[in-house]
Amino acid sequence: MNSVLELRHSYSSRLMTLLLSLVAASTLLGCTRANLYQASSLPPELMAPRHATLQNVDLSRLARTISNSQVLYTGDEVEITIATGVEDKAPPAWKGRVAEDGSITIPLVGTVQVAGMEMIQAEQLIRAESIRRGKYVSPNVALTLTQRRTNRVAVLGAVEEPNTYELPASSSDLLTAVIQAGGLSENAGTIIEIRHPPGLAEAPISNGGDGYSTDLASTRGRRRLVRTPPRTLQVDLTEATNSDFGDYSLPDGATVMVMERPKRFIHVMGLVNKSDQFEIPEEIEEPRLLDALAMAGGRKLSIADKVHVIRQLPDRSDPVVIEASVRAAKADTTSNIRLTSGDVVSVEETPTTFVVGTIRDFVRFGFSSAIPGF
């Protein structure tokens, strides 16, 4: 009997000592409070950005070139027939190509500017020029388009059929390239890189050196052809399709790289059942605070209410710490703040959780080990 009373007295003394220690620790913990942002009144510039998806992207706005099947463009190949009406047999047909300066050379008549004109307009202009230059009296001109100029464009990355495609030069743009490749794949992101190859451009002749000039450059008056360096254009589809600006035409030799959708991760730690880094499922477009806690298997203690969200913003050198409440998050959508990839969610230790957790562990392990046979 006395041994049992002594055991109870020893347990009570140990429990009292523990409680006094916890009260002292609670006082120290309560005195250290950081200057935090509150989730319920978070400034807009500190909020998580909206998750960009392709669901609301209108890809048709990427078509910046307008193609008319009746319009002649540089590089097009045509067949020209000029009949005078006095021939004994069918008039001869000549083949020609629209030059880079927009002209075409016609036997006997000479060069005529036809680029940008519809076929019937070009025929009328050739007829008028042949009469004005004294080559024909009243000819009948027939113009037939035999081959469109094409650009070879490589489409790679997150598309259904990556390959190199021949695109009509008149409609060689980003939309046409994506359509030719079978469209975007399921794992496509919103970022596309357009890589332009080196090219030639006219530049004035100067005494200074040009790092991109070529020995094959031809001199035209006071200008010459110089080699231009390759360049890369990054296109964000969510921004590009909401803007009326942007040149998404593709020259010959261009490469279109459709980037895959990057994976998103959130790290959850502290008083949770499973501290780890979790990948955000794609079906959760905008994860919230309670979603992150659910991924970690919930809290170890139901009274653990204070949460810190540590967020690194691109325009800040130091991370931002946002203080949130689980109780408030369950009651109010505003407090259940939106998270973004890279956020660290920490369920914080407080004086209350420290006391309750320690007593629980002491009762569970300490008391059972103090009584033989328990």
For residue 80, the model assigns a pLDDT of: 92
Q: Give the global pTM.
A: 0.65
For residue 32, the model assigns a pLDDT of: 41
What is d(CA 129, CA 136) in angstroms, rounded to the nearest whole number?
Answer: 9
Considering the four listed CATH numbers 3.30.1950.10, 3.40.50.300, 3.90.550.10, 3.20.20.70, the one that applies to the domain covering 77-147 is 3.30.1950.10
Q: What is the DSSP string of 56-117?
A: T--GGGG------TTB--TT-EEEEEEE-S--SSPPPEEEEE--TTSEEEETTTEEEE-TT-
Contacts of 318 (CB under 8 A, 6+ apart): none
Considering the four listed CATH numbers 3.60.20.10, 3.30.360.10, 3.30.830.10, 3.10.560.10, the one that applies to the domain covering 59-66+150-260 is 3.10.560.10
Q: Which two tokens stand for residue 364?
A: 């569970």
For residue 178, the model assigns a pLDDT of: 92
| Domain 2-49+264-370 fold | Outer membrane lipoprotein wza fold like (3.10.560)
CA trace torsion 232, 236, 240, 245 (10° rounding):
-40
Output the tens digit of pLDDT for each of the chain's 374 residues.
Answer: 555 445 445 545 554 555 545 444 444 444 444 457 898 888 888 888 887 777 667 777 676 555 667 888 888 999 999 888 776 777 888 898 998 888 999 988 899 999 888 999 999 999 999 999 988 888 899 999 898 888 999 999 999 999 999 998 878 888 899 999 999 998 898 899 999 988 765 566 555 544 444 444 444 445 565 677 888 888 888 877 666 666 788 888 999 999 998 899 999 999 999 999 999 988 888 899 999 999 999 999 889 999 999 998 888 888 899 999 999 999 988 899 999 999 999 999 888 887 777 777 666 655 444 444 33
What is d(CA 166, CA 308) in angstroms, rounded to the nearest whole number?
Answer: 54
364 class by beta-carbon count within 10 Å (0-12 exposed, 13-18 middle, 19+ buried): exposed
Whether the domain at 59-66+150-260 and the domain at 77-147 fall into the same CATH topology: no
Check residue 266 and report its DSSP letter.
E
Q: Where are the domains of the chain?
A: 2-49+264-370, 59-66+150-260, 77-147
What is d(CA 176, CA 59) in angstroms, rounded to the nearest whole number?
Answer: 10
Task: State the sign of the Cα–Cα–Cα–Cα dihedral 100, 200, 67, 253.
Answer: positive
